Amino acid sequence: MTLVASPRYLQTVSVEAHRPRETLAALKKAGFRVAVCVPDSWLGGILKQIDEDPAMTLVRATHEEEALAIACGARLGGARAVLLVQNVGLLTMGAGMVSLAMRYQFPILIVASYRGSPRDPVFYHIPKGRATEPVLQGLGLRYAVATAEPIGPQVSRAAAFVEESSAPFVLLLGREDIQW
Amino acid sequence: MVSERLPSREAYYQALAESLPDGVAVVTSLGNASYLWARLRDRPLNFYMEDAMGLAMPVTLGLALAQPGRKVVGVEGDGGLLMHLGALVTVGAMAPENLTLLVVQNGVHAASGGQALTNPDLDLAALARWAGLRNAETVRSADGFRAAFRTAFAGRGPSLLALATEPDLEIVTPPRPFNPIVIKQRFMDALGVPDYVPSVFGKGESSS
């Protein structure tokens, strides 16, 4: 029997660019002044970069639903706001997502580390990875999973999508896209 | 709660309406916190929340951070505060000086019919100080509120006033039902926040 790897598994990520730097550069170019976070091990480095950036305000929230509400308040006050959370936060922020962010049509970009996906086989993350996309679909929330293409344009498109749709949008990122 | 006769929410709101300078942004939480305020003092700089329990305080925090040059008042319930008590710690950590929080402490879940709160007797002012807020005080009369609000408002925040009150369980009818999109747009227009201009019109960015 011959095993043939499917093209999906032959996908490679370009190594010439530092993808987390491209992610942050695209967020800054899109004008995000406020970043609200609940950390994940993949997010620690980029959060430090944001914290040290005088052009951005980093809010360290205690819970992802709280973080979403802070971001909505910031956008209400005219500041573009991005959430940086682990995908488990998409499960914990469900009530605020439908009752606040979606009901009031807040354009909030959510950048989430995609833990427990088939590309992150960690046993305790896998239950969250399994639930993530069905929950987003159930909420009626638009989302994209980052591909191996350059990450900057993917972040820029997601940032445009939130404002054009007056709605939240989730970009699920792999380790190489976000871990500084 | 102690057996003294406490002011109604309406008595506090009347005092707030008298004390509130023009140009202050006000965010109110679900139920009568929003419905009664809309009845008493509807104004474009009010952002009324419905449902989304526990999120009025973090919304107000985000607003205060985005509008550092403007005074911002958030009205939350004691049940809502307990639901996201962590947000109080975030307020203390970010410490926006332009933020004043009013917590209506009636000891019950008033908006859902008056069910008992997990703990109705907490010292919310002590909790707020513990969380790092600069000023925190519990008031038990409308006059006490006027004085405390004046002091809090004149100084540097963040401040929290816990308003000890009797529960109001009858749902107040607002002047007209809230349309969330209209409420939001009216509020942002009053703040002077630029509209987003879609890319098909050549901008793809916010513009005055």
- Please answer yes or no on whether B191 and A59 come within 8 Å at the CB atom: no
Hey, what domains does chain B have and what are their CATH numbers?
A: 9-207 (3.40.50.970)
Domain ranges of chain A: 23-98+128-160
**What's the whole-model pTM score?**
0.94
Q: How far is CA A154 from the centre of its chain?
A: 11
Please report which confidence band the pLDDT of residue A9 belongs to, taking 50, 70 and 90 as the band edges.
very low
Q: What is the pLDDT of residue A32?
A: 97
Percentage of residues of chain A with pLDDT beyond 90? 91
Token representation of residue A142: 């638009």
The answer to whether residue A4 scores a pLDDT higher than 50 is no
Chain A (56-115) residues lying within 8 Å, Cβ to Cβ, of chain B: 57, 59-63, 65-67, 69-81, 95-96, 99-100, 103-107
| Least trusted range by pLDDT, from A142-146, B68-72, B148-152, B198-202 | B198-202
DSSP annotation of B112 reads: G
Are residues B103 and B137 in contact, defined by beta-carbon separation less than 8 angstroms? Answer: no
Are residues B66 and A73 in contact, defined by beta-carbon separation less than 8 angstroms? Answer: yes
Q: What is the pLDDT of residue A10?
A: 47
Q: What is the pLDDT of residue B3?
A: 58
Are residues B1 and B123 in contact, defined by beta-carbon separation less than 8 angstroms? Answer: no
Closest CB to B66: pick one of A65, A78, A106: A78
C-alpha–C-alpha distance, residues B122 and A80, integer Å: 36
The answer to whether residue A2 scores a pLDDT higher than 50 is no
Q: Which residue of B has its CA nearest to A167?
A: B181
Decide the pairing of beta strands B115-116 and B108-109: antiparallel
Residue B45: how many CB atoms within 10 A of its CB? Answer: 19
C-alpha–C-alpha distance, residues A76 and B66, integer Å: 8
| Average pLDDT score, chain A | 93
pLDDT tens for A17-73 read: 899 999 999 999 999 999 999 999 999 999 999 999 999 999 999 999 999 999 999
- The C-alpha of A45 sits at a distance from chain B's nearest C-alpha, in angstroms, of 21
Decide the pairing of beta strands A142-145 and A169-173: parallel
Structure ipTM over 0.85, yes or no: yes
The DSSP line for A102-131 is: ITTT---EEEEE-TTSTTS--TTTHHHHHH
Are residues B156 and B98 in contact, defined by beta-carbon separation less than 8 angstroms? Answer: no
C-alpha–C-alpha distance, residues B113 and A97, integer Å: 24
Which class in CATH covers the domain with range A23-98+128-160?
Answer: alpha beta
Are residues B134 and B156 in contact, defined by beta-carbon separation less than 8 angstroms? Answer: yes
C-alpha–C-alpha distance, residues A70 and A108, integer Å: 11
- Please answer yes or no on whether A73 and B187 come within 8 Å at the CB atom: no
Closest CB to A69: pick one of B47, B58, B206: B58
Q: What is the pLDDT of residue B20?
A: 96
Q: What is the pLDDT of residue A15?
A: 53
Are residues A69 and B22 in contact, defined by beta-carbon separation less than 8 angstroms? Answer: no
C-alpha–C-alpha distance, residues A69 and B59, integer Å: 5
Chain B contacts of A77, Cβ < 8 Å?
Answer: 25, 62-67, 191, 193
Q: What is the pLDDT of residue B203?
A: 79
